[in-house]
Amino acid sequence: MQRADESDGLPLPQRYGAILTIALGIAMAVLDGAIANVALPTIARDMLASPAASIWVVNAYQLAITILMLPLASLGEIVGFRRVYYAGLVVFTLASLACALATSLPALTAARVLQGIGAAGILSVNGALVRFIYPRDMLGRGIGVNTIVVAVSAALGPTVAAAILAVASWQWLFAINVPIGAVALVAAQTLPRTPRAARRFDVVSALLNAAFFGLLIVALDGAGHGEDALGVALEALAALLAGVALVLRQLPQTSPLLPVDLLRIPIFALSIATSVCSFMAQMLAYVALPFYLQDALGRSQVETGLLMTPWPLATAIAAPIAGRLADRYPAGALGGVGLACFAAGLLLLALLPAHPGNGDIVWRMAVCGFGFGLFQAPNNRAILSAAPRERSGGASGMLGTARLLGQTAGAALMALMFTMFGNRATTAALLTSAAVAFVAAGVSCARLMERHRAR
């Protein structure tokens, strides 16, 4: 298979096969994160498990992805992104079969860990592969395609889960990945062969990375759910110590696993900060809105699902537009406008009248989704293109890590708000998410000043 050059990408029709592979892999990973939430009550009843215990079916998957994102991205630079992606597809597909065949909660949780490992292989290097699949002047469009896939998959997740559960058992939620994974594995032969770095994989850094992100997420989740203060403090302290040790180990390295070398690039660092803030605002709103619509505005579960659908649909509409614009205009400006629009939509939702019509809710949701879609593709393009070509893996890993950290922090903050504000938590969360999005817009615009200084 042809070795791709960043300047011209893959030739047609090979490029189409590679795009299909990336789309299928991302769709499976995102869908599986969404559908498991819907199936949790059913799984808990079927396996005679408590709701608290069943949560690990979701947490195990997310935790595995988070702690492996950067190590697998680093491994991709060493052995080739194609190999890591292909291995991720194999592991994810086989783990999906194991999930479908699991007969106990521990077995299902273990299979979900394996599924998370496979998803990390897919998600850690997909951005780097996109950089080699598309010509340089079409990179924004390529990232726009990825954004569409993520938005549509997230939107369809609950619907797909409900449709499958209506006609079959929960095991089919996982079994359906097997034929899709098989198709993706065949199409994966079209992925480009990329340059490899002449260095060894840093096992110690990978372990420190796992300790840091794992303990950080556990501490954030514990704080959000009001767990013992001393235990949370000890977890946070352990995370801090692991993080300091990790950074000290990375500083003298030329291609570190935690890409501190890339964070020295102002545009890259600002783009990562923008991403963390924006996904924190998104998750805070996503968790709050179902409670807001049902408890405060009196909508049913079905109505809530339908009323939230315009958000991801508007994101899917904005993504290709933003992708094309990103190849011509600076990410700082596009991201600033998009995030300001996103923040305005969140503020408008928080300030809804006591008895709004469905139309009042729908257009506000669409404003949020359109603004988020306008920001995401240009920001992701800025992250990937700011890094040297040989550090595409580090950039791709940080892109995914920033998203996961933002979402984790947003979910933990929402849990904390439920404890602090009670019935007013959802309105407070929407106002807070709007404020965070406005901050993200400011950080995005700061890239324009940095771009001007660089000239």
* Tens digit of each residue's pLDDT (9 = 90 or more) over 142-180: 888 887 887 778 767 767 777 787 888 888 989 989 999
pLDDT band of 37, cuts 50, 70, 90: low
* Helices and strands, number each (H, E), in the chain: 18, 0
The whole-number pLDDT of residue 3 equals 57
pLDDT band of 412, cuts 50, 70, 90: confident
Residue 92 DSSP label: H
| Secondary element (H or E) of residue 66 | helix 56-79
Three-state secondary structure call for residue 398: helix
**Judging by beta carbons within 10 Å of its beta carbon (0-12, 13-18, 19+), is residue 251 exposed, middle or buried?**
exposed
* Tens digit of each residue's pLDDT (9 = 90 or more) over 75-106: 998 999 999 999 999 999 999 999 999 988 88
* Tens digit of each residue's pLDDT (9 = 90 or more) over 52-70: 677 778 778 888 998 999 9
Cα-only R_g, the chain: 21
Residue 123 DSSP label: H
pLDDT average, residue stretch 22-37: 82
